[in-house]
Amino acid sequence: MNPESSRPQPLAGYRIVDLTTFLSGPFCTQILADLGAEVVKVEAPEGDSSRAIPPHFVGSDSAYYLGINRNKQSVAIDIKQPEGLALVKRLIAEADVVVENYRPGVAARIGLDIAALRAAKPALIWASVSGFGQTGPWRDKPAYDMIVQALSGVMSLTGEPGRPAVRLGIPAGDMVAGMYAAIAVNAALADRERSGEGRVIDVSMLDCQLAMLSYQSTYALVAGTTPQPQGARHDSIPTYRSFVAGDGRELVVTANTERMWKGLCEALGLAALVADERFDSGGKRLKNREALWPLLEDAFRARAAAEWIAPLQNNGVPVALIKNVPEALQDARESGRGMVLPLDGTHGEHIEVVGNPIRFVGEAERVASYPPRLGENAGQVLADWLGTAAGEVAALIERGVLVQREPVAA
């Protein structure tokens, strides 16, 4: 038996109180849960608003919710009741980390004062994910994924030149903030091992999108340029782009070295271009890209997209068909890396979701748990964390402090 396979998951034993809703925060806590943390999702009586997002549902929960809440437990508490607020505080007192994505100031307004909670437990790590951060002139403004894509400059780079900007097809504003928050939580846990002290983490969705601008922000800052919409092209490498083949299907090539440039020309039957003085260096190809592109485009139309894969690969040119989402997921099923993950609920539910991309070599595959029904884990969580008896849990449900949603047929 491989000794790695019997080791606990990296975050096993850490307890996370998840006060988040919708996407950025739940994605952060799903990452932590996938890494082994015990994540308790504390919801309002009506539940996380993402549970109701149309159009696809399994039972009473939306596909949107199901895709970002596996490996968690749910406790639904009416925090507006003093008894409910006290219960949340007791759970926080037993936690290593709290993750929330309230608008700045809301946590204190509902009775969760960060300073007071951390004064009572200095080792507590508190991670806040918000649109614009806990400080600055925009701190109180609401933010959504497309808002931060717009304000960060990301949307100005997305789409075809001369056409209106478009949002990225994935919710990068939310997802990237969730990833950065998860990184920060792990860093704070590592620091706590040395210092014994927790941290307060402030992650801004807008800051995270700015960080993702990469070389485009450096070009603007260093050269004073205004980067333009990229389409399916690259600002620096004219042979790093997509092409339409003879069957109308698109493929991409990333010929970003001289060797790859020569291979591209040979595969396309354009070997004479290698010696063409307009194109005999990367700088010249960039300068003369408007003359180069029609030559390449005409050549690609000579064959169907799939027929270009082998000759390009054989000439050392990285190439790929542009897959649609179902095609990409089918490839993932066949890859053997477990990136399409089956989840089975306790009431006959069965779905597939995209899995955890983090792999630890030698670790045995672990079974992921189905996203929790609203409030379904109240009895187990309160017993494990607070020592609450079953009768007391039933009384809290009777008084409306706790809420549990009955299962709905999938």
Distance of CA 214 to the CA centre of its chain: 18
- Whole-number Å distance between alpha carbons of 66 and 57: 9
**Domain range list for the chain:** 3-212+333-403, 240-322
| pLDDT of amino acid 6 | 73
Nearest CA to 298 out of 256, 269, 277, 261 is that of 269
pTM score of the predicted model: 0.95
CA 201 to chain centre: 18
| Per-residue model confidence (pLDDT) at position 1 | 43
| Contact by Cβ (8 Å): 365, 342 | no
Residue 174 falls in the annotated catalytic set: yes
What phi and psi values does residue 89 have, to the nearest 5 degrees?
A: -65, -35
Other C-beta atoms within 10 Å of 238: how many? Answer: 22
Residue-level pLDDT at 410: 61
**Which pLDDT value is given to residue 5?**
60
Sequence-distant (6+) residues with CB within 8 A of 126 are 97, 98, 100, 114, 117, 118, 198, 199, 200, 201
pLDDT at res. 3: 53
**Amino acid at site 109:** R
Q: What is the pLDDT of residue 290?
A: 96
- Considering just the CA atoms, what is the radius of gyration of the chain in Å? 26
Per CATH, the homologous superfamily of domain 240-322 is formyl-coa transferase, domain 3 (3.30.1540.10)
| Active-site residue identified among 174, 280, 344, 384 | 174
What pLDDT digit, counting tens, does each position of 314-349 carry?
999 999 999 999 999 999 999 999 999 999 999 899
CA distance 322 to 70: 29
Listed as ranges, residues in the chain with pLDDT below 70 are 1-5, 409-410
- Burial (0-12, 13-18, 19+ Cβ within 10 Å), 327: exposed
Cα dist from 378 to 72, 85, 91, 165, whole Å:
12, 15, 11, 46
Summarised one tens digit per residue, pLDDT across range 263-304 is 999 999 999 999 999 999 999 999 999 999 999 999 999 999
Query: Please, which residues bridge with residue 15 across strands?
Result: 38
CATH number given to 3-212+333-403: 3.40.50.10540
Query: β-pairing, 250-254 with 319-321?
Result: antiparallel
CA distance 132 to 22: 17
Report yes or no: 253 and 239 within 8 Å, Cβ to Cβ. Answer: yes
Pick the closest to residue 144 from 179, 165, 174, 100 (CA basis).
Answer: 174
Long-range CB contact pairs, 180-187, < 8 A, 24+: 180/208, 180/211, 181/24, 181/25, 181/28, 181/99, 181/127, 181/129, 182/28, 182/31, 182/32, 184/127, 185/28, 185/32, 185/97, 185/99, 185/125, 185/127, 186/11
DSSP 253: E
Distance, in Å, from the CA atom of 326 to the CA atom of 220, rounded to the nearest integer, reads 37
d(CA 305, CA 322): 9
